[in-house]
Amino acid sequence: MRYTVAADSAANLCSFPGVAFSSVPLKILAGDKEYLDGAELDTAAMLAELSQFKGKAGTACPSVGEWIGAFGDGEGVFALAITSGLSGSYNAALQAREIYEEQHPDRKVCCLDSLSAGPEMALAVEKLAELMAAGLKFEEIEAQIRAYMQKTRLAFILESVDNLAKNGRVSHLVAKAVGILGIRIVGVASEEGTLQPLHKARGEKKGLAAAVKEMVDRCYVGGKVRIHHVHNLPVAEALKARLLELYPAADIQIAPCGGLCSFYAEQGGLMIGFESE
């Protein structure tokens, strides 16, 4: 069976080796300006422009047609979307599946609601690639990826939640607290796929300590970690070093956020996807 993988751009992946992979772009909107999230987007320039923008900036999820386009000519399609708790992307993917399967009765689409974003989605794509390389049947891949996604989690350290608050994705109360200089919000993705803020940490060191604590509390015992950062490689490296002290053999990789995650996680933000036991 010819497999394809389509993930929306909240996964921060432009391509993926070994699989027929497509990224389905979300959009960042500011007045007349539209930033299409993808390999060509200069996120630093976008953030600089947005910081000068006086109006309300927002985002838009992919359309049904864009999802269908990303399914390519897959006979077995896996479509992975940013959490349905914060975006309409998953719902668009479900509608795309209906149309695609009607047009091609011999093909199958499995829609996966990540209940997360960024690096936790990237972990799922890595697992899909492994399962496909192992030559498994569509139904086996579906069963195994759903089981795997139950065992991954997302933590975050954010220096600002202004854009999340302005777009109704966290309460203004939370946003106010982070506005105080040097305060970082440390939290996790909830079971429902929304932001669960847990700590207000003062300074980088305390932020990192709180994030590691939340990971360990959620049964991180040395599995894979994927850290996505918004122009903050030094702190991503510091987190990696701290985790390697605890688990020297852990497979930990660092990558930059794309446009959508940069917009919401904001300058300095860290997203941490990890395997839990």
Among 71, 156, 220, 274, binds ligand X90 (CB under 6 A): 156
3-state secondary structure 238-270: HHHHHHHHHCCCCCEEEEECCHHHHHHHCCCCE
Cβ of residue 144: shortest distance to ligand X90, in angstroms?
23
- 262 is an interface residue for ligand X90 by CB under 6 A: no
**Sites for ligand X90 among residues 195-224 (CB under 6 A):** 195
- 83 is an interface residue for ligand X90 by CB under 6 A: yes
Question: Which lies closer to ligand X90 via its Cβ, residue 138 or residue 220?
Answer: 220
Question: Which lies closer to ligand X90 via its Cβ, residue 19 or residue 149?
Answer: 149
- 265 is an interface residue for ligand X90 by CB under 6 A: yes
Binding mask 116-145 for ligand X90 (x = CB under 6 A): xx----------------------------
Candidate ranges 17-25, 197-205, 217-225, 257-265; the one touching ligand X90 (CB under 6 A)? 257-265
Candidate ranges 53-61, 69-77, 131-139, 173-181; the one touching ligand X90 (CB under 6 A)? 53-61
Cβ of residue 129: shortest distance to ligand X90, in angstroms?
23
Question: Which lies closer to ligand X90 via its Cβ, residue 108 or residue 114?
Answer: 114
- 24 is an interface residue for ligand X90 by CB under 6 A: no
Among 61, 70, 124, 157, binds ligand X90 (CB under 6 A): 61
Chain centroid to CA 215: how far? 17
Tell me the CA distances in angstroms from 240 to 208, 231, 251, 270, one per residue in order. 10, 16, 10, 12
The DSSP H or E segment spanning 110 is strand 108-113
Across the beta sheet with 33-36, what order do the strands follow? 33-36, 27-30, 57-60
**CA angle centred on 35, ends 161 and 79, rounded to 5°:** 85
- 232 is an interface residue for ligand X90 by CB under 6 A: no
CB contact at 8 A, 227 and 239: yes
- Bridge partners of residue 189, in order along the sequence: 195
Tell me the CA distances in angstroms from 111 to 86, 166, 194, 223, one per residue in order. 16, 29, 19, 25
Tokens of 122: 């990237």
Contacting positions for ligand X90 (CB under 6 A): 26, 59-61, 82-83, 86-89, 116-117, 154, 156, 169, 189, 193-195, 261, 264-265, 271
